[in-house]
Structure 1
Amino acid sequence: MAGGVVLASAAAATTAAEEPAKRVFITPAEAQARMASDLAQWRKNLTPGVPHIAFTADSWRELRQTYAAAKGRQKEYFDSVIQRAQTLATKPAIAYRPPEEFVSPSLSLPSAKAELWQRDVGDNLTVSSMALALKDDPAIRKNIRDVVLTACEYPNWGLRSTGMHLASAHLSIGVAIAYDWHADIWSDAEKEIIRKTIRNHVGDIAAGLYGKVFWAGDYFTNHNHVSVAALGLCGLAFLDDIPEAAEWLAAATINFERAMSAANADGSTPEGFTYWSYSLGMIVRYIEGTRHVTGSEALYQKPFLQNTINYRLHGTTPGLGRLLPWGDVWTKATASTYSLFALAREYRSTEGQFLASSSPSKNMWSTLWYDPTLPATPPATLDYHATVVDLAASRTGWTPDDYLLSIKSGLNVRHHSHLDAGALALAFGDDWLLTAPGYGTGKADGTNGFWDRKGRRWTYFSTATESKSTLLIDGKNQRFDADARGTIDQFISTPAWCWTGVDLTQAYQDSNEVRRGLLHRRGDYILVLDSVRAPRPVTVEWLAQTLPAGTRFDSKTPARLSVKGKTGSLEIRSVFPSGLAFAPRKHTVKHYDLPEDRITTHTLKTTGSNVRYVTLLLPSASGEKNPVKDISVDETADGLRIRIHCAKRGGGEWTDVIDADSRIRSLTAVRTGEAAFSTAGETHP
């Protein structure tokens, strides 16, 4: 972080990141034993006549008083819930439609069979249920009843035959909350219909947890977190009304204890930020919904949850509107920001409050978790290394006029991962200028090849190495075996400099050693140093993926590539070897699965058994000129000496002299009039 020195070891970057060799399933006997142990206390913690989920007797009694006294942002959240529910009440309950009716060029039949449209039905029920708790409204009451009874008639809740319980989970939670919070809506006959429906669908989730489905025992995946959150919340809601409900709650309790203990200690997940957000939202719903009964708030003491705010914060662009583009992601940053309110309240984190408050989205759960007494303050830390998932970020600040640089390392093959070791991305404000493809459309082709991590997945452009701003060796994808990875083995941060050293050897075939180093002189430039040593001559491409709409390439200055965004621009300049020229690059993989406006690719190309690149990234805020005037590179006996001459508008000139060894393992940088910055002694084996 700026103001200090942060180091991360290679050993730290590998612990807790790998999937267990063998999954350990929860058994019915374990769940029943936990139930026998804890059920009496659970019942003691409940108050007759008070909802089971999310509320104590006091908080339920005081809810309308809290709404009446709310001001500012808190009142906005409450009002938005009622307004949304009133709009929903003007529409009829959504009738069931078979998957075949949803098939389109962007949605294959296998995907349609998951029936994910039902998630909105369940989520909207929670909104309407909260609104009715805040204010009596006959139209909202009728809508809740109609939607629940209509949903109970659906022939399917998702695709249970393959364990795709996401739709079922959302519907189950919505129905459970409507049943639990508003018991007076339902006749005895209707309650029996609801109980029968929940036993059918949630019972299947429970059977899945015991080893029947793909997400059982996989404590890292969003499918586990979402499905088991529903199991636990329904177990609590129907604790007195369904015989198996107590066992459901016990099984969920065990699952989340294991999941939070196994989860990455740096607050990350291996699935990328989109699925991280999805998982976190459901994990927090489970904890906040059950804590007053089961003591699930103890999970907040786990390192994963303690570090989630930090991970999400540093994975957010300076304009706070986008997320890091690694893996299968949609980078819009509004997803599940409501969960950050609960975390900020729990940890009294003013930075978490700052990030949660930055989102324009208004979610029902924000009404329960937002603490108006907690101030919001922007963070002071500018550099960050997530040591388990193994990615790094360095920035100039937290405003739309600042930029963020990130490098991706860690394991290549995990849930929703891409072959992207060593990939770079740079955002100015909320615009990813040097970017990555994010979620491709390959999953819509109906072949399921997009999910085949043993081979076919890597024939899609969005997941392949050639769609990333990294090195491509002999035109081949990076490795996709279980050991394929990059490792950040150096990370050093000071107020002016940030250095990240990455060993990429295990990510590539046909090479003895591959390294990438990033030297960030804050506010001025990023120097990218690359080295490939191979047993025979190989062709190494330096790939740049940029925002198509803003990219400019002039054949008269072929060593330079520029891209412009709303609040800033980036020049990418090839420095060494001299005489190289960027060239547009067409894809070579079998399936191109991106819209044409997502990214455009340019490449530098060199062949040899000892290939080195020096490349300069020059960011500039709109209306400003980057201070770098010229750069020279000389080969030395030990490596390279790089001189960067800078001058700022209004006066002031200086020169940076950078000495890097040939293997990019040690570096010294000296700016005129400043003490030296050095990586000496900081390399980790």
Structure 2
Amino acid sequence: MRELLLATLVAGLFSGVDVEHLLDTPILGTEAIFAYDADELAARAEGAVVEERDGRRVLVTTERTFRLSFTADLLPGSHVLSIEASAPNRGADSYWLVVDDEQLSTPIAPPIESFGERAGGFRIEEAGPHVVSLILREAPGSAISQVSLRRTALRPPIEPMLPELAAARPRMFFTADEIPVMRERLQDERVQRYYHPAGPLTRKPPAFRPGGRNGGAFRSLPGYALSHVLEPSPEKLEALIEWLEMATTYPDIGVDLDAEYFLEGVALSYDWLYDELPEDLRARLRENICAHARRLYDASLAGYTGGGLSFQQNHYWYAHLALVLAAAAVYDEVPEARDWLAWGWDRAERIFITFSPDGAFHEGPAYWDFSMPTLYMLVDLYEQLSGTPVPWADTGLHGQAIFRTHHLYPGLERSVALEDSTAGIGRPPIGLLLWEAKRYQDPVVMGIAGALRRDPAISAFNLLWLDDTLEAADPFAEVPLAQYYPDVETAFARTSWQDDATHLAVVSRPLGGHFYAELCARYGIGGTGHNHPAQGHFTIFARGEPLAYDPGYTYEKRTRNHNTILIDGQGQFGDGEMWPGPKPGRARVTGFVSDGDVTIVACDPSSAYPPELGLQRFERTVAMAGPDLVVVRDTLAADAPRKFSWLLHHIGQAEEMTGGWRVTRGEATLAVVPLQPDGVEVLSSRYLPQYVHPTRDLTPKEDAEIGLLELTTDPVEEATFLVPLIIGALGEPLPEVMPVGDDTFSGVRVGDSLIAFSRKAGEMTLTLPWGESHHTTARAVVAVLRDGQRSIVELPAGGPVAD
């Protein structure tokens, strides 16, 4: 039956949707209970009046004591209260939902200054009359045009768990039949490189902290639970039981990250240790897991779990993995778990159908490390428990390990801090590389894991995701030095895999990448909050140091924090926002070519700037001409005279020199030699980005203060920046820098390297470093004479991408 369904599959098996019907919910049946307009609401409200606004009648909250109450006969099951409302500002933008005098923990927050539908979910246990109310969480001033209530019921097309697994323990990630083989594997040297069983858990479980973050401490439990399964001991079991006893006292762990942390530990331990747990503890754990699952399920039905419909936001992934873990743990013991698990599969399918199709990820390397475990666990659980492949998953997941590897600086210890990544981020978790190597039987990824591994770890997934029979290939002979990802519009290049190589990254894209940006625009969804308004941004790492820098994770995301262009001091869509939502800009990479240690990347970030800034043209070309030279050429035009500012960030010491500036970091230097335009004002400054959040402080312990070189023109309608960036060692003399060009091209000769950029369509004639003339219609050319070897790399006209 399942094979027949898969053979004709054009939509998700549980969700029933594809990208053309992304927000449909055929699995979900609803029964309308009531729907009231503003005048009908007024009869049920205190502290509010009806007004006419923009041609519609609305109920406006006027008193802090506002209360809107409904009494209705309700049947047992999940219910969703929806309100169409608008708030004037962040101080008057949310309500609490109260059911039978019990206030729910998740507020309902309408849009600011526009009407939109928002909802809250709750569960009714007993049939009969019930009172549902809305009260203000903050100040009055919001307006409500309609309130409706509906009861929901799931109609899964097939059972969400195979019957043979529903009757088995354990059933998540492995079964009892696999345990003997897993025990034998512990003796294999290939396994011992990556995994060793944990000893008894000696830390004491923390008590629940009302109002605090709870759940995180439990996330490590699976490593200890698996250790006991493989090498049982009374000491290990006793410690685990102590932690699970404490877990039963946790009343509410929310519907977001903490819920997953908690349930990853508790639900997996419940499943893996099921037969060894005392019966009374098992019953209390089951009750606790169910209570959390109900909150997650009701919140998800109401569109609140993990950011509503933000399918490509890590909170959404965590929240729905939490629901799946809870449902799978108590499946066949609690009837509701069937609905919870089917709904979890519905949500998971929407994650994978909207995922970037080019093996890349949009939230930066830190969130890759943080988020990918949820996707890999969802894939494994979906396929194991339902017995069907995850639709669309492999399109986006295959290649992720190499994508993450490209973020590693030479030396393979640190990573470039693109998007919301903390400065100094290191290597990716080895277990994630093992997952991809195993799933795709990829010897190159296995080789990456081998190259990056350190000591064996106690993580359960280092064993569960390890295929110790898979031979490793040499990744540094197989992974390209440069690679371009067309959906997330990011290009990486390095001059070699040696520790002394130069590394370049260039980003120019819509927030979320092209595929997801179009879905956000089409369906009005979100999930791009960890992206930065940084299109056209580049970074350079060379001689063991970051030289053109990215400050990383900030809570005020500013274009000014990145190596790109400002217009009259102003930045791109999303500038200054904490969590930028989807934007209309469609910045892109327009050309990419790489050969050996030479890479040329061209991009067009112009549409990333709001139209009121008047930017009509911004074309950037970044040419890496070997390990010691990067040249940036920008062509800019505006609708009226504007000041254009060219930015370069660093964490070194900047000093003025003849013809430019020198940045020194350790033993490495970066000479910034602006050749065009004439007459720019150069400002060298230092500043502290906004690393502080109301609840978190991400200020780096080292290098928190950022250096900035800012080159600003007078107000002009057009400008061209031509800026060689020359990499060297402390005390090393600069090579000769000579501008070259005519009316067809502009460029620079640095030592025996020529970098030329076309000024217009048509042919240009260059004199190469070895004296020959060269005729070409290319957009950009790098010609290098090194150790007697000649090379020419061209970026073709018209924007094709070449490897």
TM range (shorter): 0.7 to 0.9
Amino acid of the structure 2 residue aligned with 1:656: L
Match of 1:470 among 564, 580, 583: 564
In structure 2, what is the equivalent of residue 630 of structure 1?
Answer: 736
Match of 2:159 among 34, 38, 41: 38
Deviations 1:347-371 (A, max 9, x none): 1223322333304373331122122
Match of 2:247 among 145, 151, 154: 151
1:521 matched to 2:628:
no
Greater shift after overlay, 141-150 or 28-37? 28-37
1:388 matched to 2:487:
yes
Greater shift after overlay, 633-642 or 138-147? 633-642
1:610 matched to 2:718:
yes
In structure 1, what is the equivalent of residue 325 of structure 2?
Answer: 233
1:656 matched to 2:754:
yes
Deviation, structure 1 residue 629: 1.9
2: CA distance, partners of 1:579 / 1:553:
20
Distance 1:676 1:592, change over 3 A: same
Deviation, structure 1 residue 65: 1.6
Bigger radius of gyration among the two: 2
2: CA distance, partners of 1:502 / 1:420:
12
1: CA distance, partners of 2:371 / 2:392:
15
Distance 1:641 1:439, change over 3 A: closer
In structure 1, what is the equivalent of residue 591 of structure 2?
Answer: 490
Amino acid of the structure 2 residue aligned with 1:476: Q
Deviation, structure 1 residue 615: 1.1
Match of 2:727 among 619, 628, 648: 619
SS, match of residue 750 in structure 2 = strand
Deviations 1:625-662 (A, max 9, x none): 69x7222224522341432323xxxxxxxx52624216
1: CA distance, partners of 2:663 / 2:680:
16
Distance 1:297 1:641, change over 3 A: same
Distance 1:587 1:26, change over 3 A: farther
- For the aligned residues, what is the CA RMSD? 3.2
Distance 1:411 1:131, change over 3 A: same
- Where do 5+ consecutive residues of structure 1 fail to align? 1-18, 100-112, 443-459, 647-654
In structure 1, what is the equivalent of residue 203 of structure 2?
Answer: 91
In structure 2, what is the equivalent of residue 555 of structure 1?
Answer: 656
CA contact (8 A) 1:320 1:355 kept: no
2: CA distance, partners of 1:205 / 1:433:
45
Deviation, structure 1 residue 207: 2.0
Distance 1:292 1:27, change over 3 A: closer
1:581-620, aligned counterparts within 5 Å? 582-585=682-685, 594=699, 597-598=703-704, 599-607=706-714, 608-620=716-728
Deviation, structure 1 residue 250: 1.8
Deviations 1:580-636 (A, max 9, x none): 57431355999988558232112122222211111112234x69969x722222452
CA contact (8 A) 1:315 1:393 kept: yes
CA contact (8 A) 1:390 1:410 kept: yes
Distance 1:679 1:335, change over 3 A: closer
1:668 matched to 2:775:
no
In structure 2, what is the equivalent of residue 502 of structure 1?
Answer: 603
1:360-399, aligned counterparts within 5 Å? 360=454, 362=457, 363-374=459-470, 375-379=472-476, 380-399=479-498
2: CA distance, partners of 1:65 / 1:575:
66
CA contact (8 A) 2:683 2:711 kept: yes
1:110-121, aligned counterparts within 5 Å? 113=212, 115=213, 117-119=214-216, 121=217
1:114-193, aligned counterparts within 5 Å? 115=213, 117-119=214-216, 121-157=217-253, 160=254, 163=255, 165-193=256-284
Distance 1:469 1:25, change over 3 A: farther
1:78 matched to 2:172:
no
CA contact (8 A) 1:391 1:488 kept: yes
Deviations 1:51-86 (A, max 9, x none): 11111343223222221x2215x225432x414xx3
**What is the percent sequence identity of the aligned residues?**
20
2: CA distance, partners of 1:473 / 1:201:
49
- Higher RCO, 1 or 2 (CA under 8 Å, sep at least 6)? 1
CA contact (8 A) 2:495 2:598 kept: no
Deviations 1:184-234 (A, max 9, x none): 332222222111111110122122232330534322111121121222233
In structure 2, what is the equivalent of residue 530 of structure 1?
Answer: 634
Greater shift after overlay, 145-154 or 231-240? 231-240
Deviation, structure 1 residue 576: 2.5
Distance 1:354 1:330, change over 3 A: farther
Deviations 1:563-586 (A, max 9, x none): 3257x5433332323575743135
TM-score normalised according to structure 2 size: 0.69
Deviations 1:65-111 (A, max 9, x none): 221x2215x225432x414xx3xx32322112233xxxxxxxxxxxx
Distance 1:334 1:24, change over 3 A: farther
CA contact (8 A) 1:25 1:217 kept: no
1:210 matched to 2:306:
no
Distance 1:57 1:307, change over 3 A: same
In structure 1, what is the equivalent of residue 530 of structure 2?
Answer: 416
TM-score normalised according to structure 1 size: 0.80
2: CA distance, partners of 1:430 / 1:466:
25
SS, match of residue 242 in structure 1 = coil
Higher strand share: 2
1: CA distance, partners of 2:288 / 2:166:
24
Greater shift after overlay, 633-642 or 495-504? 633-642
Amino acid of the structure 1 residue aligned with 2:273: H
Amino acid of the structure 2 residue aligned with 1:95: A
Match of 1:574 among 655, 666, 674: 674
Query: Number of matched residues?
Result: 603
2: CA distance, partners of 1:372 / 1:429:
36
Greater shift after overlay, 52-61 or 219-228? 52-61
Distance 1:524 1:22, change over 3 A: same
Distance 1:377 1:682, change over 3 A: farther
Higher helix share: 1
SS, match of residue 416 in structure 2 = coil
Amino acid of the structure 1 residue aligned with 2:170: P
Distance 1:500 1:552, change over 3 A: same
Amino acid of the structure 2 residue aligned with 1:63: M
CA contact (8 A) 1:421 1:485 kept: no
Distance 1:630 1:203, change over 3 A: same
In structure 2, what is the equivalent of residue 680 of structure 1?
Answer: 796
In structure 1, what is the equivalent of residue 77 of structure 2?
Answer: none
In structure 2, what is the equivalent of residue 338 of structure 1?
Answer: 431
Match of 1:287 among 379, 383, 404: 379
Amino acid of the structure 1 residue aligned with 2:654: F
Deviations 1:514-555 (A, max 9, x none): 1110112232411110111112222112111112xxx23223
2: CA distance, partners of 1:298 / 1:412:
26
- Where do 5+ consecutive residues of structure 2 fail to align? 1-18, 31-151, 513-527, 575-581, 694-698, 762-776
1:640-655, aligned counterparts within 5 Å? 640-646=746-752, 655=753
1: CA distance, partners of 2:757 / 2:418:
31
SS, match of residue 554 in structure 1 = strand
Distance 1:565 1:60, change over 3 A: farther
